[in-house]
Amino acid sequence: QTPWLWNTRQCWNGYPYQPLMPDLHYYYIVELSFYWSLMFSQFIDVKRKDFGIMFTHHIVAVTLITFSYVTNLTRVGTLILCLHDAADIVLEAAKMANYCKCQKLSDLLFLTFAIVFIVSRLGIYPLWILNTTLFELYEALGNFPALWVFNVLLMVLQILHCLWSYLIIKAAYKAISKGKVAKDSRSDVESSSDEEETVPRSKAPHSTIASNGTSGANGTNGYLTGGTCSEEH
């Protein structure tokens, strides 16, 4: 319902004297709360292979949300949030299907997520978001300090997108070649999972790898699992 969704130049009309509508305000509050919760939960969760990338992403995300809110860059900020949420919805659905042991559905959703992620983060994001913040913003308002801070953070985000896309493509390739998604290389693999897989099961009865990064008899996300749980789950 907003004009800047279809015409990004509308993000800069009347800036900085743009009223903050209640729906955008609450959208920002919910997103900022979500990323702050991830900032803390990553330290008590299982350490994963992409912990450094994820930690950097959370810092950049919180900084971007706060900075754009303070400087009233909320119009383009909502576009960025919406674009990032699109792929995450499919990823969480794939995880839920995996927890329910619907392997084929999980594989299909993961491949769908890979396509949505790559198209949105490597296609739409640079051509739509970076184009308006780097060029249209400069044409409309000229040079000012907040412009460079904002764009540097957005470029860091794009670098993280490229790193994640590499991991996702690897996982998607394994899904196609082997017929299943054994692990989520993006964020749900334990840092020591490769080494644990080489240990004989008889000598390591508690090293069962779960697809959401947890291991042992406690199951995944609070669900108890039996002792015969296979590695693909």
Listed residue (83, 104, 224, 107) closest to 158, CA to CA: 83
Inter-CA distances, 57 with 3, 36, 90, 151, 224, Å: 29, 11, 19, 15, 31
Place of tokens 């969760």: 45
The token duo for 163 is: 């790193």
Gap between the Cα atoms of 193 and 180, Å rounded: 17
- Taking the CB of residue 189, how many other CB atoms lie within 10 A of it? 22
Gap between the Cα atoms of 154 and 125, Å rounded: 10
8-state DSSP, 7: -
Averages of pLDDT over runs of 10 residues in the chain (233 residues) are 91 92 95 93 83 90 96 95 93 94 91 94 95 94 90 95 91 76 48 41 42 43 42 40
Listed residue (39, 41, 40) closest to 61, CA to CA: 39
User: Which pLDDT score is estimated for 46?
Assistant: 82
User: Which pLDDT score is estimated for 63?
Assistant: 96
User: Which pLDDT score is estimated for 214?
Assistant: 43
Inter-CA distances, 61 with 81, 101, 106, 162, Å: 9, 32, 28, 16
User: Which pLDDT score is estimated for 183?
Assistant: 53
8-state DSSP, 12: S
Residue 205's identity, in one-letter code, is: P
